[in-house]
Amino acid sequence: MTPIDVVSVADAPWHDVQAVFGTRGDPSSCWCQYFKMGAAEWKTANRATCEPLLQRQVRDLDPAPGLIAYLGGTPVGWCAVEPRANYPGLHRTRVEPGPEPIDDATVWAVTCFVVRVGFRKRGVGKALLAGAVDHARSHGARVLEGYPVDPTAREKVTSAELYYGIVSQFVANGFREVSRPTPDRALMRLELGT
């Protein structure tokens, strides 16, 4: 089995990031800006506005706001992970974040996964989440949160709805379920210590 390598997006060439986000579907227009924009701003967002925002965040934020996965040297996936304070739009989800103040820089969040068509069901998401845990821990995170979907609790889940990740993937990486505000969504947390 070909190993999956996970690196900071800051260490990936931009054309690799573009290959992962693609030109079709939700990732190609969102570029992981949904939770960073206000509701009014989001209504007019598209690739032309969102891609440059992510590119600027990669350049300006330390650490960079996510990870890229490679399978045999091919860029195949993305995971957004950074301090929860960088996601003011999290309140728009059906899952309320944990109890700490929103500006607590030691609480990080995993908000999005993108795995390219043709590379799904190969462990890319699991590898990205393991990389997110390491990334958050190495940059001082005390807690890492995720807001995944539980596909076993619904009759049908579209691939677009899986961008939050899935509950079993978080459980496999040591997260515990803290709450379940709806049957198909969970707040998952991993205490990382300091």
Task: Report pLDDT digits (tens) over 36-67.
Answer: 988 888 888 889 889 999 999 999 999 999 99
All structural domains of the chain: 4-191 (3.40.630.30)
The pTM of this model reads 0.92
Name the pLDDT band for 107 (thresholds 50, 70, 90): very high
pLDDT, tens digit, for every residue of 68-91? 999 999 999 999 999 999 998 887
C-alpha 91/C-alpha 95 separation (Å) is: 8
Name the pLDDT band for 133 (thresholds 50, 70, 90): very high
pLDDT higher for 46 or 107?
A: 107
